[in-house]
Every structure is written in C-alpha cells, then in structure tokens.
Amino acid sequence: MQRLSSIYRDQDRAYRADTCEPVKAAVRDGTIEQMALKRGAYPGRPLAKDALPGVLTVGYWDAARDQNWGLDWHRNEGLEITFLETGRLDFAVGGHNVEGQREEFFQQNLRPDDFTVTRPWQPHRIGDPNITASKLHFLILDVGVRHPHTQWKWPKWLVLTPEDLERLTIFLRHNEQPVWQSGPDLRHCFGRIARAVMTDKDGANISRLTVCLNELFVLLLDIFESSRATLNESLSSSSRTVELFLAEFSQNQNDLAAPWSVAEMARHCGMGVTHFTHLVKQLTNLTPIEYLNRCRIDSACRLLREKRNMTVTRVAMTCGFSSSQYFAAVFRRQLGCTPRVFRAEQV
C-alpha cells in the first residue's frame, strides 16, 4: 500500500529526494560547469562508501549565462546549505498552514555572499522559473531528521565539541530563517571546499575536505550566534510535525485515497497513537479519523462540482471511502444532504 511521504509530497506535486535532474541535463548540454562529490542519484562523482558519512552531495555549479531551467519546488532528505559566490539567483521557501493552503512565505533575490539553510521539511525552489548566471556552492548533509521534532544525529567526523554542536543544533531547530548574509571567511571556506572537490581523485582529498567542512560549521555557528536570531522552541515540537503532516496530507488526492488508520498516521509522524491523537485534536478540534473524513469530503465536493461525468460511487472510491453507502452517510452527516443532491444544487 502506497503511503504519503510527508516531507516529499505537497498538494499535487511529489517531493521525493531531489536528484537535480535539470542540473544533470545542463551539464550534459555543456551550459554549466558542475563539480560535486555525491551519493545516490545526485549529479557528480561518487564518494567512497566510508568517506564522510551523511554527506549526500557537496560541490558547486558555475553558470556563465542565464539558463532555460530552474529547480522547481523540492525538498531534500538532508540539511541543505548553499552559498552564492557570484551573480544573482531567485530563491523561495514555501510553507503551509494547518488548513493545507500553501503560502510562499519567503522569496528573495540572492546576492553574492548570501547563504541559505533549508531543513528536510521545507519546500524550496531556485530560479523564477529559470536560474540566472551564477556560481552556487552547495552541501546536503543527512543528519537523520525527517520531522521537526526528531533528534539530530551529527556524523562522527564532525569534531565540534558537544557544547558547540548543541548550540548549533538549537539554532537549526529553533530558527528557520532561510537566507543569511556572510562575509569573506565563509567565502574562502567554500572556495577551499570547491578546490578540494575539484582536485579530488579517488578520495585523495577526503581529509582536506573533512577539515574544510568542520570549519564551515564552526563559521555557521559564529554567524548564528553573532546574529542574535530569535529562537522559537515550538519549531521543533511534535505539534509542528503533526501540523505539517496534516497540511500536506489534506491536499493530496492519492494520499486521501489510501486506507489510512490512526496507527499508520501516527507512525508516519514518528510518534505513538495517543500522543498523535491528542495533537490532532489540539490543532483541529477533531479526531484523526474525523479530520481524515473532513478532508475526503472536501475533496469529494470538488470532484462532484468539477467532474460531473464521474459517478458518485467513483467519487467515493477516489476519495478513499470503502463504499458508496459509507460515503453517503459521512457526506450527509457533514453537509446535511446526499452527494447527489449536493451535485444537483451546483450551478
């Protein structure tokens, strides 16, 4: 049974781990230069199995001219840090409220020395819709989180003291500011990372790259601490995890059609049934099943209005109801009329 992947799916779009296919195509076409070490399906040269565990991709692209592509709304399965060395670049981060409406709550034209930080649950895009001439450095590091409330697991090669790592984690969990300004220290650090990636042959520069990445996180901690950024502990709460789940869940037709149970919903959010049920009630004043049925009925209403050739039974099945009789009973309970009467009243 297919299940919603809450950090990679949003409304009618699938947000699986981004593999940067437009970047791969641009490299093949020769319209950009790209140097990266990577794991999985990301573009670049493979990292050795035991080299820098957690690093999914590290490197840069250099676009000498405007492109006919961009990176549309996507998420990554790790913490992503990008740094714009030269040029300008449109960047946006999206979000949801608990009613499932997406709000583009941040958009900015990046300038040289700007860097971005996005967490796995934050949809973001680069380009509007296409990227402009620019040189962008990037790092995606999997720290074992998929939801705001889960604990971060830093790799062992990161040698910051426990106290420094704790402070860094607090900033990353309790502040979701996506764009920051930096200076020459961070620029030089990314330059050294780029040279280490570019000149690496069969893992010869892994030690140098490890040192550079440790320096990067020390510099990030310095920037965060000097900024006196506002920290909000609710950003790493279980409630926020459930809120994000409900917002995305309510807008995806394929996920609404799946035979969800409360236990499965709770498992998807990484928590127990009792705690999950309490948080759903707190956020929506509904039980999980009541919320599920409300989302399904909302979806059914749209189909009844817009797909007038679709039978009522087909609408019921499409929206996840096990029978047309149960669909009609829930529909009447929520709206006070049958699906057929509702459709007939639409003009």
Domains of the chain: 9-234 (2.60.120.10), 252-345 (1.10.10.60)
Q: Which 8-state DSSP code applies to residue 137? A: E
Q: Residue 124, Cβ neighbours under 10 Å: how many?
A: 22
Task: Please report the pLDDT score of residue 255 as a whole number.
Answer: 76
Looking at every residue in the chain, the average pLDDT score rounds to 89
Predicted pLDDT of residue 12? 38
pLDDT single digits (tens) 174-203: 998 999 999 999 999 999 999 999 999 999
Please check whether residue 270 is in contact with residue 147, taking contact to mean a CB–CB distance below 8 angstroms. yes
Please name the residues in contact with 273: beta carbons below 8 A apart, sequence gap of 6 or more: 262, 263, 266
Dump pLDDT digits (tens) for 289-321. 999 999 999 999 999 999 989 999 999 999 999
Tell me the per-residue pLDDT of 254-295, one tens digit each, with 9 for 90 and over. Answer: 778 888 999 999 998 999 999 999 999 999 999 999 999 999
pLDDT above 70 covers a percentage of the chain that reads 90
Q: What is the mean pLDDT of residues 223-229?
A: 91
Q: Which of 113, 114, 34, 99 lies closest to 71, judged by CA?
A: 34
Reported as a single tens digit per residue, the pLDDT across 236-255 is: 999 999 988 888 777 676 77
Average pLDDT (111-123) is: 94
The alpha carbon dihedral of 74, 77, 80, 86 has a sign of negative
Cα 233 to Cα 114, 149, 160, 271, distances in angstroms? 25, 10, 23, 18
Q: What span, in angstroms and rounded, lies between the C-alpha atoms of 318 and 324?
A: 11
For residue 346, what pLDDT is reported? Answer: 81
Taking residues 68-81, report their average pLDDT: 93
Q: What are phi and psi of 317, to 5 degrees?
A: -65, -40
Whole-structure pTM over 0.85, yes or no?
no
pLDDT of res. 347: 67
Cβ atoms of 320 and 257 within 8 Å: the answer is: yes
Q: What is the pLDDT of residue 326?
A: 93
Q: Which residue has the higher pLDDT, 98 or 263?
A: 263
Cβ proximity of 130 and 163 under 8 Å: no
- C-beta of residue 247 within 8 angstroms of C-beta of residue 123: no
What is the Cα–Cα distance from 320 to 330, expressed in whole angstroms?
12
Instruction: Count the alpha carbons within 13 Å of 296 in the hemisphere toward its beta carbon.
Output: 29
| 23 has pLDDT over 50 | yes
Confidence tier at 94 by pLDDT (50, 70, 90): confident
Contact between 98 and 77 (Cβ < 8 Å): no
Q: Where are the alpha helices (DSSP H) in 200-287?
A: 206-227, 238-249, 253-257, 262-268, 273-284
